[in-house]
Every structure is written in structure tokens, then in C-alpha cells.
């Protein structure tokens, strides 16, 4: 078994799409990044890559490479899945938290869980996603950005 920790943060900006967990969420602001800036999926990828001791997502998908410009992060997660399978591992479980003052994410959690589980070829029961506000503290509380932290446990196949 191997454990990995992932963390990501992106700035919010009016006019951008808000994509979290591979799902487009209706909101007046969206995340800014080289890709679609999906902080949840980026943290999931980082946790898996970390558990495999293969560096971080920047090493595998650099923001200086135009191949990844505006890419749907679920497509990057598919590549991480292949890395994981090639190393002989599968998902035991993933535990995620998203910190965002707004929008309320509870209505989207089940859909995000399903999308991530499908992409990683695992049961939705192996993917936990929680959302929290920061009680208006910090950059998330001021609605300047959104962050996500993820822990994953991988099992040898």
C-alpha cells in the first residue's frame, strides 16, 4: 500500500468557467489556470503521483507546454490512471476536501464523485468528497480562490 497527499489552489476570476471534479458549476466566477484549473482533479492527480513517488503534476504536465493549454483536467487524470496501472497499483480510496466560500457545492458532490470514480475505474464508494467554507477567512473566504486537499491510498494489484 502507498499513500499520497495532493494540494492545489487557483485564483477565481469573473467570466471564467468553474470546473470542479470534472463538472461545470454555475457561478459568476471561475478558476484561472493553464488548463481548466480544476483544483479538485489536480489535487487528486498530485496525490496519486505522490503515492507513486513520481514527482508532481507540474513534472508530468508542465504549464509551459501548449499541449495542456485549456485542457479538460479529467483527460489528464486519465493519463495519471495509466501511470498508476503501469506501476501495478489501483485505488483503495480517495478522500478529498474543497475549500470555497461560494458557491455551495453540496448539490454537485455526487456527480463529482461519480466522474472521478469512473475516470479511475474504481467504485464511487472509494471516492469521498467534502466541501467546506473557511468562515470568510483567508483567500477562499474572501472568494479570491478555491483550494483542494486530497489523500489517496493505493493498493498493489
Binding residues for a divalent metal cation, by number, are: 8, 10, 42
Backbone dihedral angles phi then psi of residue 57, each to the nearest 5 degrees: -65, -30
pLDDT at 155: 97
Q: What are the structural domains of the chain? A: 2-156 (3.30.1330.50)
Residue 117: name the closest of 9, 7, 4, 21 by CA.
Answer: 21
Under-50 pLDDT residues of the chain:
none
pLDDT at 67: 84
pLDDT at 64: 87
Exposed/middle/buried for residue 141 (C-beta within 10 Å: 0-12, 13-18, 19+): middle
Binding residues, by number, are: 8-10, 34-35, 42, 56-58, 61-65, 132-135, 139, 142
- Return the percentage of the chain with pLDDT > 70, whole number: 100
User: 41 forms bridges with which residues in the sheet?
Assistant: none
pLDDT at 147: 98
Its pTM stands at 0.96
Amino acid at each position: 500500500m502507498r499513500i499520497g497527499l495532493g494540494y492545489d489552489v487557483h485564483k477565481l476570476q469573473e467570466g471564467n468557467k468553474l470546473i470542479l471534479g470534472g463538472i461545470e458549476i454555475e457561478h459568476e466566477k471561475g478558476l484561472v489556470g493553464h488548463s481548466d484549473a480544476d483544483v479538485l482533479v489536480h489535487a487528486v492527480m498530485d496525490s496519486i503521483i505522490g503515492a507513486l513517488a513520481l514527482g508532481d503534476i507540474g513534472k508530468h504536465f508542465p504549464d509551459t507546454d501548449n499541449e495542456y493549454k485549456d485542457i479538460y483536467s479529467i483527460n489528464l487524470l486519465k493519463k495519471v490512471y495509466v501511470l498508476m496501472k503501469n506501476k501495478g497499483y489501483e485505488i483503495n480510496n480517495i478522500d478529498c476536501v474543497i475549500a470555497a466560500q461560494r458557491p455551495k457545492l453540496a448539490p454537485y458532490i455526487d456527480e463529482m464523485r461519480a466522474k472521478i470514480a469512473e475516470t479511475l475505474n474504481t467504485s464511487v464508494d472509494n471516492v469521498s468528497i467534502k466541501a467546506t467554507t473557511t468562515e470568510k477567512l483567508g483567500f477562499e473566504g474572501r472568494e479570491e480562490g478555491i483550494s483542494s486537499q486530497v489523500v489517496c491510498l493505493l493498493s498493489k494489484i
